[in-house]
Amino acid sequence: MNLLPRSRIVLICVVAAVLPFAAQGIEPSQTVRVTPLLKTTTSWNGAPIKYPEGQAEISSLLVEIAPGGETHWHEHPVPSFGYLLEGTLEVSLADGKKKVLKAGEALAEVIATAHNGRNIGKTPIKLVVFYAGAVDKQPLSVPRPDARPKTN
């Protein structure tokens, strides 16, 4: 029996999750509304998305950040995809690039790239994040306090 490589299985699962639901057989109707959230082959900074080797493991977290709060500098060694339920989130890279995400927006997070998320709004942030990792291979996030941009 010829099985697909695990990395291909992870790719198929993630693609199926982000495709418009109609492509999966869920037809919109008067009682079902289908809204595509994200379909991409790159993270928000343009880097290609690559899946880790090993037994696929999908994790999901609800991240809540108070007004003025931040995640602190960190990076994700695995692909992750976020959907902002509430609030306004500014994501900064060490090179100065920034992305502002508002409630109802989705993004593919940067991979192996230090970044910091900060609540720039007046209400708490609620962000759902899905990680496409591998069992016992790597953590979902790694602190990177050394990545803070230098100020003059």
Phi, psi for residue 102 in degrees, rounded to 5: -110, 160
Q: Is the pLDDT of residue 4 over 90?
A: no
Both tokens of 147, joined, read 């990545």
- Across the range 52-76, mean pLDDT stands at 96
Helix segments in the chain, DSSP class H: 6-18
Q: Is the pLDDT of residue 55 over 50?
A: yes
Q: Is the pLDDT of residue 2 over 50?
A: no
Which DSSP state fits 32? -
DSSP per-residue codes, 119-137: E-SSS-EEEEEEEEEETTT
Confidence of residue 137 (pLDDT cuts 50, 70, 90): confident
Strand partners for 93: 115
8 Å CB contact between 119 and 125: yes
Q: Domains plus CATH for the chain?
A: 39-147 (2.60.120.10)
